Structure 1
Amino acid sequence: MKIERALGVLTVSDFECPLCIRLFFEPITTPCGHTFCKNCIERSLDHNLRCPLCKQPLQEYFKNRRYSPTVLLQDIMTHLFPSQLAERKHVHDAEMAELSNLTKDIPIFVCTVAYPGVPCPLHIFEPRYRLMMRRCMETGTKKFGMCSYEHGKGFADYGCMLEILGLEVLPDGRSYVNTVGGSRFKVLKRGQRDGYQTADIEYLKDLKVDGSELELLQHLHDSVYQQAQDWYQRLGSRIREQIDRQYGTMPDKDENIQASSNGPAWCWWLLSVLQLDPAYQTTVLSLTSLKDRLGHLRLILEYFSQR
């Protein structure tokens, strides 16, 4: 009875996170005795490894990553404020749904040019990108966009989606992320969210041809593929080993060169291996004509072969 009377004097404001000033969601209590939403304390520790309230060092707490939920606090909120807690969960779910959208306000990692089907290992250390990776994992999409930097715009008009295959978080908060390229896209609108870039996008697909056009395209494809193989075989064994370690071996010819919306995989492998200017890489990435892409590859291979 005494407990009931004691609980009766509590109000919703007694259960607000001091960082977001909203009802606790997945409350976490630090070793120094202060409680925050799990997402809120994680974002704070991205920037400073001290308690946001008392400034006590939290390096060891951060290193162990044992963010155990404060069960008693959760039970009290469930008992006293079920409707407010349900509303808080509804808001959280709506935020997650918004972050899960893969055409509007998708997160953009501004770094280099990525290609479909090609591995793209990343070293994450900036707070904004730590947050981005956590959100990609939490929403379950495990995807984000990659664009190269472009002066005056912030990032290029074309990019490639990356899918997270594995993420290793280090004790100091940095992480190694293994990703692979997926769909290509065109940027329709630029934006920002919590410090990182975002974009509304539309996905790109290669245009298909048939009949005599397809016959000519197949002939061009086979010719440029052979040209690429010849160039690759002329490289020294040591260079080939380095390429194979980083990008894998040269993909075989596709039986159907129009089966994938991104075209043959070997084209993207070759473009990733060749050290080209990012602006030129982005231009080739944006092409939806396999014929045009093969034309560029032929010119590039002729240039490198001459050198």
Structure 2
Amino acid sequence: MSGSAKRVKQWKPQRTDDFECTLCLKLLFEPVTTPCGHSFCRSCVLQTMDHGNKCPMCRMVLFISPRTYPISVTLNNIIQKNFPEEYAERKLEHENLTYGGTDTLPLFVMDVVLPCQKLSLNIFEPRYRLMVRRIMEGNHRMGMVIIDSTTGAIADFACEVEILECEPLPDGRFYLEVEGRRRFRILRSWDQDGYRVAEVEWVQDLLPSEGTREREDLQKMASEASEHAQTWIRNAREAVRIGRRARRLDFLQADAVPGAQDPEKFSFWLVNLLNLKPSERLNLLRMRDTRERISCGLNILRRTEEQGCLVQ
């Protein structure tokens, strides 16, 4: 009896198809068993359901949500216990897809976004649904980039955005609220599961050192430009009150103006007041001179005032 018990204890399952995901052909990770009896990696079946709600094996209609559907605890425990090294590799592979790092970013190819800019996004393409799920498991950040009309390829400069709000919709889409954070230059990019991923280099303006006369002059310039911009905002609000045509009111928040102590951030707040063409916004991203960016913003503000069009 004891010998039989010993033989049972020593038995280990062999690495067979029973422990392999038929979608990615790898060891199951966070296995989910469907009502029709087929097991897949949670992330794999979630990805297939971006395209339809049928089992990839038998085509049975699945009325499940892989995001909340429970993992098969027994199967998961067997895999972790008997294939620890391969499971560790699968876990690391999964973590590398969640974008918790700072120098590799998934890219949403759509438009030019500037630091401080806020916008709403409706994510409906299957490839970007997958990307958003991975982002939300990581640092909630992605890059937004445009196709450069002069080259036909993705632009060399873009902006990181942080997802402030992510609302999954019943049909699988996502409603996002995002805000522009840091600029970056794309060093290289590649396709991953249908969307673009890039290795990036963070970019900042070349600012004068703290305490120097040049830095004080730049801060003074930012302070004066801030006063001008807030006057412009008040006039724009008055134009709205009396019924003159106006839009982009979401940016007209005088109480949210960055201080002159951060002239680079202020310069982007300033140009966000303006309705600029994508090529103009891309040039502002590439610019490394804060003074030049503030001057550019002020010149456009003055032109809109002269033309009697206060809000672009």
Shorter-normalised TM range: 0.7 to 0.9
Distance 1:194 1:253, change over 3 A: closer
CA distance in 1, matches of 2:13, 2:86: 19
3-state SS of 2:118 partner: coil
Which of 245, 250, 257 is residue 252 of structure 1 equivalent to? 257
1:254 partner amino acid? G
- Name the counterpart of 2:192: 193
Report the CA distance between 1:75 and its aligned residue.
3.1
Asked whether the 8 Å contact 1:284–1:296 carries over to 2, the reply is no
- Counterpart residue number, 2:37: 33
Query: Is the partner of 2:64 in helix, strand or coil?
Result: helix
TM-score w.r.t. length of structure 2: 0.83
Of stretches 41-50 and 113-122 in structure 1, the one that deviates more from structure 2 is 113-122
| Residue of structure 2 in register with 1:276 after alignment | 276
- Answering whether residue 144 of structure 2 is matched by residue 146 of structure 1, we say yes
Aligned to 1:56: 60
**CA pair 208-217 structure 1, distance change in 2 beyond 3 A:** same
Matches within 5 A, 1:1-307: 10-13=13-16, 14-58=18-62, 60-62=63-65, 65-79=67-81, 81=82, 84-97=83-96, 99-104=99-104, 106-138=105-137, 140-151=138-149, 152-209=151-208, 211-235=212-236, 236-237=239-240, 243-244=248-249, 246-247=250-251, 249-250=253-254, 251-252=256-257, 254-258=259-263, 263-265=264-266, 267-307=267-307
Please identify which structure carries the higher helix content. 1
Deviates more, 1:246-255 or 1:34-43: 246-255
RMSD of the alignment, in Å? 2.7
Aligned residues: 292
Gaps of 5+ in 1: none
Give the percent of matched residue pairs that are identical in Structure 1 and Structure 2.
Answer: 33
Q: Is the 8 A contact 1:108 1:198 kept in 2?
A: yes
Q: Which amino acid aligns with 2:214?
A: E
- The one-letter code matched in structure 1 to 2:55 is C
Name the structure, 1 or 2, with higher relative contact order (CA <8 Å, separation 6+): 1
Matches of 1:18 and 1:51, distance apart in 2: 11
**TM-score, length of structure 1 as denominator length:** 0.84
Report how far residue 94 of structure 1 moved. Answer: 4.0
In structure 2, C-alpha distance between the alignment counterparts of 1:66 and 1:220, rounded to whole Å: 53
> 8 Å contact 1:185–1:204 — kept in the other structure?
yes
Q: Is the CA contact (8 Å cut-off) linking 2:20 and 2:28 kept in structure 1? A: yes
Comparing 173-182 with 143-152, greater Cα deviation is found at 143-152
Deviation at 1:294, TM superposition (A): 1.0
